[in-house]
Amino acid sequence: MTITQLSDQSSIPYELLLLADPSREIIDTYIFDSRLFIATAEGETIGCYVLSQVDQATVEIRNIAVREPHQRKGIGKLLLADAIRRSKLEGFQTIVIGTGNSSLGQLYLYQKSGFRISAIRPDFFTQRYKEKIIENGIECRDMIVLSREL
């Protein structure tokens, strides 16, 4: 598997990004000011992550996704490790990632990768997304922000 930055804005893999963020309208509010990294194996795009600079010291993973047939094989963990390694090399001090209160697998994965809960943004999802999001039988309402020192 190789992970490279996408340079061609015309080939943004929205179907992949939509796995992590169900609104294309919202994706378009950040994707053009961010960097998109694509994981490729045997010529197929199998995963991606998006990095947005928050301030001089902080970078945020805005979207991380692995194509469904390739999930639960360790690729998400490798994408996170790549984002951490890259951000550290670039001199950032903190990396953050936000997820929903209902995203139990993601909360598990991020904490296993060294992130700690640093903030909660109540009603983040209910205020921004028209459709109700249900995961693991729980309504996704609040954003849980997790941070990791680099």
Binding site for ligand COA (CB under 6 A): 19-20, 64-66, 71-77, 99, 103, 105-106, 108-109, 112
Closest CB to ligand COA among residues 65, 150:
65
Nearest distance in Å: CB 68, ligand COA = 8
Report the distance separating Cα 142 and Cα 130, nearest Å.
14
Closer of 51 and 75 to ligand COA (Cβ): 75
112 contacts: CB under 8 Å, gap ≥ 6:
77
Nearer to ligand COA, 83 or 150 (CB): 83
**Residue 82 in contact with residue 109, Cβ under 8 Å?**
no
CB of 113 to ligand COA, least distance (A): 8
Alpha helix segments (H runs only) across 49-143: 75-89, 104-112, 124-128
